Chains A and B, each alone.
Chain A
Amino acid sequence: MASRKESSSVSSTAMASTGGTLDSPVKQIQIEGLVVLKIIKHYQEEGQGSEVVQGVLLGLVVDDRLEITNCFPFPQHTEDDADFDEVQYQMEMMRSLRHVNIDHLHVGWYQSTYYGSFVSRALLDSQFSYQHAIEESVVLIYGFLLFFSHLFPILDPIKTAQGSLSLKAYRLTPKLMEICKEKDFTPEGLKKANIGFEHMFEEVPIVIKNSHLISVLMWELEDKSTVADKHELLNLSSSNHLEKSLQLLMDRVDDMSQDIVKYNTYSRNLSKQQQQKHQYLQRRQQENAQRQSRGEPPLPEEDITKMFKPPQPPPRMDTLLIAGQINNYCQNVKEFTSQNLGKLFMAEALQGHN
């Protein structure tokens, strides 16, 4: 992601007047319909079944809104493509888009996810580098929830196939930004900042806006296109999706428990060591007292830190990420179950009438 950082810093210095001097954080995101369609299309064509699909968001900041007016996709990472390609690709794209009067301000990036699993180290790093360079950038996550029929917006393609557009925008909280800046991931550091997994990302509300011309286009499309089967949302079969989500949740919880075990052993080691140090010091003092009473020179104080090397504190950032991810899964599962409960009750009412 280092290449992205360079490119984003280049673009931010190129247009320093607009992006850098805003004090108020972005309160709302306004997306054009075109961007939504493009993101959907990009996932549909390139990302079927494979991992994440990514791209760059372009737009501008107006008052307290971040307007996203266009986007372009990033090519998939193939094995022998060097990082060099990314930067060049991005630069070329932006230059070309400038010729056709498309906003070329780099305001964020988007990513698709699989069943809502997007809280990862890589995401954190890239979002940090973006947000560091451009104050208002967000990540748009287009997550997936089902197969058949979420500043970074996360888009949920599976859930979208099921019938509802799932697009979420996130940015890192200022607290988290500070921590990432200092790269201090020890438990003490995190304790100082008082960060919990809930304070990692903040969600920014999204609003979709269309220009008048696009509205005309919509009327035209409605006229001409056939009524498709748009009622997969009412499908009652939920077990497949539920299983998948729960499986991912279980995996994460396993990771989490491993992490916790590590932390516990670390704190146990630490306290044991403290005890040992204490004992050693006491013995030393006793011996010195004895020697003094016998009139001999006291033993030199040895450097205890060299003798008892303190154990390495495990980095807590991963734990935080895992906790955040688990939280996300739980949220998704709960949303999903509430929807399904509604559907089931509806089905009961229908059947009751028969």
Chain B
Amino acid sequence: MSAGELSSFSKMSVFGPVVKIHPVVLASICDSYERRNEGASRVIGTLLGTIDKHSIEVTNCFSVPHNESEDEVAVDMEFAKNMYELHKRVSPTEVIIGWYATGFDITEHSVLIHEYYSREASNPIHLTVDSALQSGKMNIRAYVSAQMGVPGKTVGVMFTPLSVKYVYYDTERIGVDLLQRTRVTPSRTKGLTSDLSQVAGSAARVQDMLTTVLAYIEDVLSGKVTADNSVGRFLMDLVNKVPTISAEDFENMLNSNINDLLMVTYLSNLTQAQIALNEKLVLL
């Protein structure tokens, strides 16, 4: 596999199952790369997850200590087995589906390690994360091994790439968004925001999106950009989604909602005052 093929990977159509990765896995990999031992140029570890008919979902991982030198590679498989047992106790649905390595290329050692893992899982996948940023960005790729060569004579192993997608649970999405905000501040820290400011933030985001859409429409109207029918249909949907309610009905709904909320606030304040009073009385 030449480097040229690898770089045009994203445009190739690949067959085989899709690999869905959760951000937790990538964060773990980066973290274990940062904590690697002196002199180790890369880190390897096991991937855990679930296998579906069409896709493989990677939900967890842990790093495995290993030693790599020019001629040989030693992986602590005992450790890997132990960790897997421990993890299985927490989430019994996860199985070993492959392994990961940081670094840009696939070396001969990878083949050996891949063989180890073939004993643990059927058809394991191999994930490479370029955390040294050799190619300017962090490339994340997945491979499956396939036999190649002349049967009976020289047989080799080829790593065929798979397409990688990132999936999130809803809550994960929020967590990732929060982390995204940390990359803006110079000290890379961020406090957790209070509630009303979050609503404001959300509203600001919607506003931004609306401005983008408006700008696009202006362009189309003035003829700068050719109109795209599918976008037009989406816009139509958007406009039709705003429900037409008579002003009175809306007033009523709004008022009753506001009244509910105010009442609840009043009641909770009352309760708090009550228990505070109770405290004072008891402590008399």
On A, residues with C-beta under 8 Å from B are: 30, 32-34, 36-38, 40-46, 69-70, 72-76, 85, 89, 92-93, 96, 99-102, 149, 157, 160-161, 163-167, 187, 190-191, 194, 196-198, 205-222, 224-225, 228, 230-234, 236, 238-239, 242, 246, 249, 253, 256, 260, 263, 316, 319, 323, 326-327, 329-330, 333-344, 346-348, 351, 354
Contacts and interface: CB of A to CB of B under 8 A. Distances in A.
Given A100-B35, A215-B182, A340-B261, 4 more contacts: A190-B282, A196-B283, A212-B188, A228-B173
15 contacts: A33-B179, A37-B27, A40-B24, A40-B172, A160-B175, A165-B192, A205-B191, A208-B179, A208-B190, A209-B182, A233-B199, A234-B199, A234-B203, A256-B278, A263-B282
A208 B195 contact: no
Contacts of B245: 351
Contacts of B190: 207-209
A206 B189 CA distance: 10
Given A37-B172, A92-B86, A230 B182 contact: no
A335 B86 contact: no
Given A45-B91, A217-B27, A219-B183, A234 B175 contact: no
B168 interface: yes
Contact of B168 (A160, A225, A260): A225
Interface stretch (B113-121, B145-153, B252-260): B252-260
B55 interface: no
Given A233-B199, A323-B275, A36 B169 contact: no
Given A208-B182, A209-B188, A220-B140, A323 B278 contact: yes
A338 B195 contact: yes
Most chain B beta carbons < 10 A, residue from A165, A216, A242:
A165
A33 B34 CA distance: 14
Nearest to A193: B283
B170 A341 contact: no
B182 A339 contact: no
B90 interface: yes
Given A163-B198, A242-B264, A190 B283 contact: yes
Q: Interface range on chain B: under 10, 10 to 19, 20 to 34, or 35 or more?
A: 35 or more
Contacts of B261: 238, 242, 337, 340-341, 344
B59 A45 contact: yes
Given A194-B283, A234-B199, A326 B30 contact: no
B199 A40 contact: no
A30 to B, nearest CB: 7
Closest 7 CB pairs of A and B: A330-B268, A215-B183, A101-B35, A33-B179, A75-B89, A37-B24, A34-B27
B188 A210 contact: yes
Given A209-B189, A215-B188, A231-B202, A100 B65 contact: yes
B177 interface: yes
Interface string B190-230: 11110110111011011000000000000000000000000
A233 B198 contact: yes
Interface string B160-192: 000000101111111111111011000111111
Contact of A165 (B32, B178, B258): B178
Contact of A253 (B34, B169, B205, B271): B271
A81 to B, nearest CB: 9
A257 to B, nearest CB: 10
Given A102-B35, A221-B166, A234 B86 contact: no
Most chain A beta carbons < 10 A, residue from B62, B196, B282:
B282
B9 to A, nearest CB: 13
Contact of A334 (B89, B93, B171, B269): B269
B187 to A, nearest CB: 8
B129 to A, nearest CB: 9
Interface string B32-45: 11111100000000
A197 B275 contact: yes
Interface stretch (B11-19, B67-75, B104-112, B130-138): B130-138
B7 interface: no
B23 interface: yes
Given A220-B140, A221-B166, A344 B35 contact: no
B2 interface: no
Most chain B beta carbons < 10 A, residue from A221, A246, A341:
A221
Nearest to A223: B137
B235 to A, nearest CB: 17
Contact of A326 (B28, B166, B275, B283): B275
Contacts of A218: 176, 179-180, 182-183
A41 B169 contact: yes
Contacts of B264: 242, 246, 333, 337
